[in-house]
Amino acid sequence: MKIVLKSPLDMHLHLRDADMLKNVAKYSSSCFAGAIIMPNLVPPITTIDDVKAYKNRIKEATKGDIFEPYMTLFFKDSYDYDFLKEAKNFVKAIKLYPTGITTNSEGGVSNFDIDNLRGTLEAMSELEIPLSVHGETDGFILEREQEFGKFYEKLAKAFPKLKIIMEHISDRHSVELLKEYENLYATITLHHLLITLDDVIGGSLKPHLFCKPIAKRYEDREALQEIALSGYKKIMFGSDSAPHLKEKKESFEGAAGIFSTPILIPALCELFDKNGKLENLQRFISDNAKEIYDIEPLEKEIIVEKNEFLVPKICDGVVPMLAGEKLLWRCQGESQ
């Protein structure tokens, strides 16, 4: 059995920089036609020159593959209209991080008073630049996303013409918000579709499944699966694949982030096939994103066949999700 995916897109991807970029970019560019690239480098991507330079480094790391990096800026409340008008020619979104909430998010937003952010957000709304958001407070770990929902509601009401992307939603309450507000959209990761907190800490500690937002309850996973498998038009795939070297994950202060890129398409095929929803995978992994972001990706076909795939135990110093396990699907041409 085989299926063909047309121009698959990853709408939330971390490629890092320097040696890590050179090592991991190929896992995305080999099987995706494009990806929204996160701007949380050190220092973050905050200028047009930063965007251009980072995109050139990505292009160099992915040369030979059909792959377009869609760039983003790190949100600042000091951006003015003229700057954003020019930036729109080079970016697809601006990413808002609460300060210190995840990897390399220092310098993010600490004052969530709408008036404090109004200048940038009004300009973005007028210029039709989407706002991408890491939606967590600094409260109790299992309740951070739900608590942030109040801010999503304020944003959606205050800026009804602003397209707001709730990134990597992991909570059933976010699914309900998505249905309630017309200008809210969302990405869902593979790992939040597959695992719960039990998989991370229920038995032995699994540092390579530790991420932010953390995997949550069974009922949350069920709500995410239901809406993703349905092909719902306001949901799109975003891996939030976030590589860290093995030694950084397996340390006394393990870094948050799951490296899922090497298994994304086979694992998604397995999930959709198991639930009898393979016909909706194209919408989840490409078509919805094209409409939400108003993009026409590069033409690329990925053939996926129902044939066992043994996940590598390590990829260029980074341990992938499901390392050493067998999947039932593989991308055609993938070696055993």
pLDDT digits (tens, 9 = 90+) for 228-280: 999 999 999 999 999 999 999 999 999 999 999 999 999 999 999 999 999 99
Residue type at position 149: G
Burial of 250 (0-12, 13-18, 19+ CB in 10 A): middle
Question: At CA 50, angle to CA 48 and CA 53, rounded to 5?
Answer: 110
Say if 82 falls within a structural domain.
yes
What is the secondary structure of 59-90 as a DSSP string? HHHTTTS--EEEPEEE--TT--HHHHHHHTTT
Say if 38 falls within a structural domain.
yes
Say if 233 falls within a structural domain.
yes
* Tally of domains in the chain: 1
Task: Report the catalytic residues.
Answer: 240
Token pair belonging to 145: 């996303």
Say if 192 falls within a structural domain.
yes
Strand order in the sheet with 184-188: 72-74, 93-96, 131-133, 164-166, 184-188, 235-237
Question: E-strand spans in 145-204?
Answer: 164-166, 184-188
Cα–Cα distance between 214 and 304 in angstroms, integer? 29
Say if 311 falls within a structural domain.
yes
The percentage of the chain sitting over the pLDDT mark of 70, rounded to a whole number, equals 99
Say if 52 falls within a structural domain.
yes
Token pair belonging to 270: 């397995």
Prior bond of 213 cis (ω within 30°): yes
pLDDT of 336 higher than 80: no
- 33 closest CA partner among 11, 3, 55: 11
pLDDT tens-place string over residues 49-72: 999 999 999 999 999 999 999 999
The phi and psi torsions of 186 (rounded to 5 degrees) equal: -155, 155
CATH number of the structural domain spanning residue 41: 3.20.20.140
pLDDT at 334: 65
Say if 64 falls within a structural domain.
yes
The range of the structural domain enclosing residue 131 comes to 2-331
pLDDT of 335 higher than 60: no
pLDDT of 26 higher than 60: yes
Say if 336 falls within a structural domain.
no
